[in-house]
Structure 1
Amino acid sequence: MTRTRERPWRRPAPPRAPARLARGGIRRISAVSVRALSYWLWALTLLLFTIAWPTLSLTHDVPTSLRPVVAAAGVAPLLLLRRHPFLGWALWCAGGMVVPVLFRRQPGYDFPWQVTAFLVLLALLVAVGVRESRRALVTTWVATTALCIAFLPGELAPGWVFGLTAVLGVGLLARWLLRSQRELAQQTELGELERARRTIAEERTRIARDLHDVVAHRMSMVVVQAQSAPYRLGGVDPQVSVEFTAIADQAREALNDVRGLLGVLRSDGQLAEDVPQPGIADALELLREAREAGLDLRWDVEGDPDGCGTATAMVTYRILQESLANASRHAPGAEVQVDLDLGPTVVVRVRNGLSSRTPEPGTHAGNGILGMQFRAASVGGSLSAGPSEDGGFEVRATLPARATVRDEA
């Protein structure tokens, strides 16, 4: 049995972006189309030459030795159709002026050129209308019109001039269509890039908000627990108390650094996506953890937790998390009361009393209240926050029990 040895140093190539794949596919298709067009031009030119050479004696009185040259002069400019249509048209006009002058037409043939040569002229006129500049387009029209008037019979010249003008118009219309398609493709690519940037920005916002909710709360609890440890634990050695103070200071500085970094990622006004988030049971556990961390916390929960939808439960958890973190930072040592009514309308009320201690330096206002308001609005609710009558601070949110996170608030 043959064993295939794995080579861990060969990492798989990263997936290519859809826009890059599309552009690469278009380039390959364009290259194949260009090569195919070149082959078809050579084949068509050879076919027209094989028709023009034998039939030249039926249209013009040309010596036998010159017939291949005259036939080639009428159809060879077709080879310049793809790259240099204006040059091909100029060469055709040079031959178109020489042939009627040097060689007499056969009796019964009223046209100055062979039919094959005239078909080549039509193709070149369309290509000039598609690819060349306006000045070249005007020059082509004027010279071709003069050529028709000079060599065509008087009764046929107006009709042929009108037809050639229409052919040039077809080429010009094709140019406008191709330009519109290119502009549409560019706009589509720009739209895809803009949607990708917006998706990245929304994802960064979601990550920043969730990091703020989780990291800031946990680190705030570390600060509160380290500050309150000397008061909760009796007989703490002074050196141990200094260590607790140092832990609180380091955690506070780290918290401020985290907020500064998250400020780069945040984009206020955009909402977090509806992803799996903590629910009501986690909110009750959050209250117990906050009390164990040293926060003077009491709570009263009424209603059925199962009657609360997933989105509302997630928003309720985040509001409680942010409110408790704010209370521990801005009102250290104050009593905190949480009232949670889980009825048809979920009411979350977090109130802290007036603190007897001055907040530690470095506790400044951030985007917590604004983030809570966005979260409440995302499920069709509302949130208010401000000073209470006793000098403390109160956060009150009203949320529908059953709601889904909306795309815009």
Structure 2
Amino acid sequence: MPPFTQTRFRLPRGARADAALASGTFVLVAIAEGQRLRGGEGSMPSVIVSWLLIVAVCGALLFRRRAPVAVGWFTVLATGVYYVLSAVDGPLVLVPIVALYVIASQGRMQAAIAMAAAMVIGVGVGALMPESDVTGTAVFMLTGWLVAVVALGSVRHGRVAYAEEEARLRATEERLRIARELHDVIGHNISMINVQSGAALHRLKKDPAQAEAALSAIKAGSRETLQELRATLDVLRRVDEDAPRAPAPGLARVDALVASAELAGLAVRIERTGGERALPAPVDLAVYRIMQESLTNAARHSGAEHVAIRIAYWDRDLTVAVEDDGRGSAARPARPGGGSGIAGMTERARALGGELVAGPRPEGGFAVRARLPYGTAGQPTEWSSR
């Protein structure tokens, strides 16, 4: 048995919808005009002209998506001529009303208001004509309908524009998130490989044993880089909602991070205070990436030898500080664009409702300090003095 989503009735869209609308309107108007023919009302030339106008106005709906304003004005004028010639008060007025809604829903409010005003003025002039069947009540009701149609079209346009803008913002945020992840995944390991390869070349003749250790570290780092890159690309390619097969980076992998930094020549010390707890996945990933990027900068730019990482678990948030004894901010040039370096770390912290500061230390070196709340992302808490 086919699934319900394949068997339920679906309304036509696009050109089929235009054809269905034009055909349906033509049938309604033709039925009303047929009553005129049976009653013998009007001369043959007026009947022929009326039918030609009916076909032209209804057929114009087929082009309402290509040239909505031109179609709108044509249907208004042709419908006005039809009502002047025809003695039948048929439903042909539905066609310019539909065209008016289409124009308003596209945000072309000046054209929509001008068309609505022309229709009201035309019907009002007809009401003033002698022996006219149009009354002031009809003019008032038509005005209300046209105002409602324009308002509904404007609301539709606003909702579509809001949905499109929201989709663009989500796509931009997702691109920035992917850029940060790729930078953090690849940038750290590649930087460490660069430092270690330089050390291996320097020690190759003087100390082959240390050169061999550096080359082993390069091999391990490149393998880890490929694994993380494949895992990231696997997530991007995945079309279903299966959970990732590999665990996301977090504090559980901090020892491997420290070992990689030590192979690059950094002496890393970790201090933990407060009661350790299980962290929400976004916080766990953010603190890992902040430490990763800070160690990368220390190894690549500052010429530091010692790095201290201080992790503190507080009641409402976690703080992490990465301090080195390198050359300070002079060795850390600003990088253009977002999603990398200090800018990327700052974006991660702010996305979780926290904050991050980075700069040279008074006693020398460089420090990165971040506060990450345990709670919902986007709900900042006060920075406590500690």
State how far apart, in whole Å, the 1-side matches of 2:156 and 2:380 are.
30
State how far apart, in whole Å, the 2-side matches of 1:87 and 1:353 are.
87
For 2:131, the equivalent position in structure 1 comes to 148
For 1:175, the equivalent position in structure 2 comes to 146
**Judging changes above 3 Å, is the alpha-carbon distance between structure 1 residues 343 and 42 closer, same or farther for their aligned structure 2 residues?**
closer
For 2:283, the equivalent position in structure 1 comes to 312
| CA drift at 1:313 | 1.7
State how far apart, in whole Å, the 1-side matches of 2:201 and 2:97 are.
89
Q: Is this contact kept in 1: 2:29–2:91, CA < 8 A?
A: no
| CA drift at 1:201 | 0.7
Q: What code does the residue aligned with 2:16 have?
A: R
**Judging changes above 3 Å, is the alpha-carbon distance between structure 1 residues 124 and 328 closer, same or farther for their aligned structure 2 residues?**
closer
**Judging changes above 3 Å, is the alpha-carbon distance between structure 1 residues 174 and 26 closer, same or farther for their aligned structure 2 residues?**
farther
Q: What code does the residue aligned with 2:181 have?
A: D
Cα offsets for 1:7-26 (capped at 9, x unmatched): xxxxxxxxxxxxxxx99725
For 1:398, the equivalent position in structure 2 comes to 371
| CA drift at 1:226 | 2.1
Structure 2 residues without counterparts, runs of 5 or longer: 1-9, 58-77, 101-114, 223-246, 382-386
| CA drift at 1:137 | 5.3
State how far apart, in whole Å, the 1-side matches of 2:47 and 2:135 are.
17
For 1:364, the equivalent position in structure 2 comes to 333
1:353 has 2:328 as partner: no
For 1:86, the equivalent position in structure 2 comes to 80
| CA drift at 1:395 | 1.9
Q: What code does the residue aligned with 2:378 have?
A: R
1:40 has 2:12 as partner: no
Q: What code does the residue aligned with 1:87 have?
A: V
Q: What code does the residue aligned with 2:320 have?
A: V
1:299 has 2:270 as partner: yes
**Secondary structure at 1:300 match in 2:** strand
State how far apart, in whole Å, the 2-side matches of 1:223 and 1:396 are.
26
State how far apart, in whole Å, the 2-side matches of 1:312 and 1:175 are.
54
Q: Is this contact kept in 2: 1:303–1:342, CA < 8 A?
A: yes
Of residues 68-77 and 325-334 in structure 1, the stretch that sits farther from structure 2 once superposed is: 68-77
Q: What code does the residue aligned with 1:315 have?
A: A
For 2:310, the equivalent position in structure 1 comes to 339
State how far apart, in whole Å, the 1-side matches of 2:264 and 2:207 are.
17
**Secondary structure at 2:248 match in 1:** coil
Cα offsets for 1:146-194 (capped at 9, x unmatched): 3228xxxxxxxxxx6xx62322333333333333333333333322322
For 1:56, the equivalent position in structure 2 comes to none
How many residues align structurally? 298
- Give the structure with higher Rg (CA): 1
State how far apart, in whole Å, the 1-side matches of 2:142 and 2:123 are.
12
Give 2:187's match in structure 1, choosing from 204, 213, 216. Answer: 216
The aligned runs of 1:256-295 (5 Å cut-off) are: 277-295=248-266
**Secondary structure at 1:337 match in 2:** strand
**Judging changes above 3 Å, is the alpha-carbon distance between structure 1 residues 140 and 197 closer, same or farther for their aligned structure 2 residues?**
closer
Structure 1 residues without counterparts, runs of 5 or longer: 1-21, 54-67, 93-116, 150-159, 252-275
State how far apart, in whole Å, the 1-side matches of 2:42 and 2:304 are.
106
**Secondary structure at 1:299 match in 2:** strand
State how far apart, in whole Å, the 2-side matches of 1:74 and 1:396 are.
85
**Judging changes above 3 Å, is the alpha-carbon distance between structure 1 residues 278 and 42 closer, same or farther for their aligned structure 2 residues?**
same
State how far apart, in whole Å, the 2-side matches of 1:388 and 1:376 are.
21
For 1:382, the equivalent position in structure 2 comes to 355
What is the TM-score of this pair, normalised by structure 1? 0.59
State how far apart, in whole Å, the 2-side matches of 1:135 and 1:306 are.
71
- Percent identity of the aligned residues? 27
What is the TM-score of this pair, normalised by structure 2? 0.62
State how far apart, in whole Å, the 2-side matches of 1:331 and 1:181 are.
61
| CA drift at 1:331 | 1.7
State how far apart, in whole Å, the 2-side matches of 1:326 and 1:210 are.
16
